[in-house]
Structure 1
């Protein structure tokens, strides 16, 4: 999953030397030393990432999602970053190689811009035009441009709300302090739970047909896959002016859409996180099923903290709850 994300950004135009993979496994130096096997739940392949020439930063201990976001903020200080992009590790990113109507031609034609170039254009436009910008979202926060000054102003992410709904808390506080949040479009960034069968598809290898297989059963229904592939083929075949590279890109786009639908269907969006069951006896091993159960407990505790903090039981804090920044921990609950 992580390798797919990294390779997809590289093939979408992002320079590998500007990509920082944050190893948040809690495995100390075990991954860097090559002490873990492939089926260890927290295995990370440093060798392959090194061959891709990306940077690796290790967290000192295992961090929750909210803590990890604050860690990113700390990196902006140590690296003197006035802003930074961050991305989830379970996404597939592809550029607009088919072009954007009335805005940008197809890949290979003069004027085409990669995902990376369009992101930089959005960055330059944002910095020049909006002195109070907080974030820019590309497919919600699957890829996000972050202003560290905005996070400083609200006190960072609330580490006591470790996982789900912590984004609602943070982004609401940014809005309460008048930091802008807008959507941008620099490419297709898809939320996935599976990886392509062969990552050479991201390099547009014509000998590889884009496909995916869930390593944890049940797999996609064969009838459904055949039906969707049939629709995809007929769509490509109906446009005679499309060259081979664009036709391949469309198949890749369609398979990424099926990966998204698969993750958000009946399968369960985060079942992939508990799919590896090896590693017993290796350094810093922790039972995977137990970790998943503990994570659920922490998540529910965070949701309860959110409810008590705001006196409100959903993300609509401003319009629905009528709440402001200084209302934190000072209001009675407005729900039963």
Structure 2
């Protein structure tokens, strides 16, 4: 099987050569270059998932009502938390980032920022996130952000990433936490709906990441990172992608009893589209055709955005839940 080349951009993430590992453009002016380098440490394009996940969770937590002030405060606190985790990830991964072509332009890989400075920057962001959310929302939200940072840095980056091909399966739990933070900021607790949204992102992460890793598996191999496409055949990888895509779609449908007809329709249509793409990739590999796994990676972003935007609209309108219709 030959992996085809892919070019262009996509709606939620960075242009394809960066593949979600955003690189803020550098500048010849040192007064601009240094702030841009620190901004790049936070991986601003990756943080888009925060916006996609947190807002719908907050709106669903209080259907039919929109508290703009609380939403903006939670997003700011969540942004600082995600920026902290991403910065500390760059500190821990500085050695392999230098090896991988896809990440070689990150600030620490090109030594645009001293490593100690980046470490301090990341810790300060994390402490600021906790303090802000405790002040503007509640203690639970602040503690969840701290737990996310610690899990992402110590469990995923330092523990799983370089040791197991299941790294993104379990490590991906960190990327699911924004929905719990958003829900808790509104309610002060964690409801079953937030847990289902957590499951949606949890199951969505492997097919999303493995599709990217199929395209850049030589990079991961050179860096000694045992991503599934590095250690398994492409047929095994794409079969796993199909399985996790089904789990993702089923998880979105599990949320239907707490929502309205708009979300139900969006989840069904978008889910069918996502499943079709995953099955097409698997079928192409089985037939030995030239496939473009990066296409699934790019469109998986759009899928999650469509589903969660549908959830946000449904929650704002606050119409009778589907579950009450039966």
Instruction: Give the alignment's TM-score, normalised by structure 1.
Output: 0.27
| Larger relative strand fraction | 1
Compare the two structures and name the one with the higher helix fraction.
Answer: 2
